Amino acid sequence: MRIRKVLSVLIIAAAIFSSSCCSNNEKQSTQKAKNVILLIGDGMGPAQVYSLIMTSHEKTAFQRFPYSGFSITKSASNEITDSAAGGSAVANGNKTKNYMVGMTSDSIPVPSMLDIFAEQGKKTGVVVTCAVTHATPASFIAHNINRKNNEEIALEISNRENLNVLFGGGKKYFTERKDKQDLLNKMWDNGWNIYDSLSQIEDNNAKTMVLTCNKHMVKAPDRGDFLPKATAKAIEMLDNEKGFFLMIEGSQIDFAGHANDSATLVEEMRDFNNTLNVVLDFAEKDGNTLVVVTADHETGGLTLIDPDRKYTRTDFKFSTTSHSAVFVPVFAYGPQAARFSGIQDNTEIFNKIMTIAN
């Protein structure tokens, strides 16, 4: 008698558990995302993420993500990609040659996910700590045969109509140009508000560009909390009933890797982590936002080693001042985030985001 009672309670509990479990799974597998926030840690391989976890007293933002996987970063031309081909593969779903932005390997311009979302009526934005013409942002907002053509990329950006928010550096490519044009004046005439600090923004609805410096911003922690603050401001400006797409780059994780500077690397990771927390806090409240974090490639060939075979110390060891071929992590939160589990090509990140947000 008692056994039967216990059994029936168990069966009811199992039924309740399985139904709530299945309906959640179902919701997870079909819910479309209204907003997409993509964060790229330039040069952020597994060891870069672990270096943050290892030196943090609190749980990191990376550990808040329910799903993670890996991305294979090689380009159409090289096993080891640069940021142009690595960023473009994620931005538009095509493998291209190193140095090319927003184009196929046959030099045909292709729309990025930002271009497509803008076309569909979503608001769009880009937030970086480097020049806004640099390879990663350019992969989303420009199309050029060579990432080094900063002035051409600035010209293309100045002619864009469907970009709402652009925060970063790189003023000189708009004002100190070989063709003597002042692109900032032209953009003002075309309805842009342009400032040199976030605090000057008055109208959240106007197309707004903030260029804080001539080229790249100073490294962390010297630039303060620009990236998390700019991210919060961009989300506030972009959030609307049709949804938005925002790309945020931890641009200088890569710079610290090239410099083999472990102290700065950890500071850059901490700054990116603070930014991730801002994004996740919004996404949790919103409930309709897909958040994807990945890298374009790893920089520095970083490992965390036992230098004397005694297991008493952990040292940072870089094996190169260039990029490496190792796969990079992917973290996902929000509608259909489970799709980003496993090992995927960087181009699949584009395909998955487009499927989930359309």
Which of Mg ion, Zn ion, none does 115 bind, CB closer than 5 to 8 A by kind?
none
Q: Looking at beta carbons, which residue is closest to Mg ion?
A: 136
Q: Does 298 bind Zn ion (CB under 5 A)?
A: no
**Contacts with Mg ion: how many residues (CB under 5 A)?**
4
Q: Which of 83, 158, 251, 262 is the catalytic position?
A: 83
83 is catalytic: yes
Region from 12-20, 201-209, 228-236, 298-306 binding Zn ion, contact rule CB under 5 A: 298-306
Q: Give dist(CA 68, CA 87) in Å, integer.
A: 19
Q: Does 254 bind Zn ion (CB under 5 A)?
A: yes
Which of Zn ion, Mg ion, none does 136 bind, CB closer than 5 to 8 A by kind?
Mg ion
Q: Does 136 bind Mg ion (CB under 5 A)?
A: yes
The phi, psi pair for 178, rounded to 5°, reads -60, -35
Q: Does 296 bind Zn ion (CB under 5 A)?
A: no
Region from 154-162, 224-232, 244-252, 273-281 binding Mg ion, contact rule CB under 5 A: 244-252
Task: Give the per-residue contact string, 202-241, with Zn ion (x = CB under 5 A; - = no).
Answer: ----------------------------------------
Q: Give dist(CA 325, CA 69) in Å, integer.
A: 16
Q: Does 42 bind Mg ion (CB under 5 A)?
A: yes
Pick the closer one to Mg ion by CB: 112 or 336. Answer: 112
Alpha helices in the chain (DSSP H): 2-30, 46-55, 83-92, 113-119, 135-141, 150-159, 172-175, 183-189, 226-238, 253-258, 262-286, 346-356
Q: Which of 353, 339, 330, 307 is nearest to 49 (CA)?
A: 330
Q: What is the 3-state secondary structure (H, E, C) of 12-32?
A: HHHHHHHHHHHHHHHHHHHCC
Pick the closer one to Mg ion by CB: 298 or 336. Answer: 298
Closest distance to Mg ion from the beta carbon of 13 (Å): 51
Which of Zn ion, Mg ion, none does 267 bind, CB closer than 5 to 8 A by kind?
none
What are the distances in angstroms from CA 59 to CA 10, 62, 133, 157, 265?
35, 8, 34, 38, 18
Question: Residue 278 in contact with residue 246, Cβ under 8 Å?
Answer: no
Residues that bind Zn ion (CB under 5 A): 254, 299
Give the residues lining the site for Mg ion (CB under 5 A).
Answer: 42, 83, 136, 251
Active site residues: 83
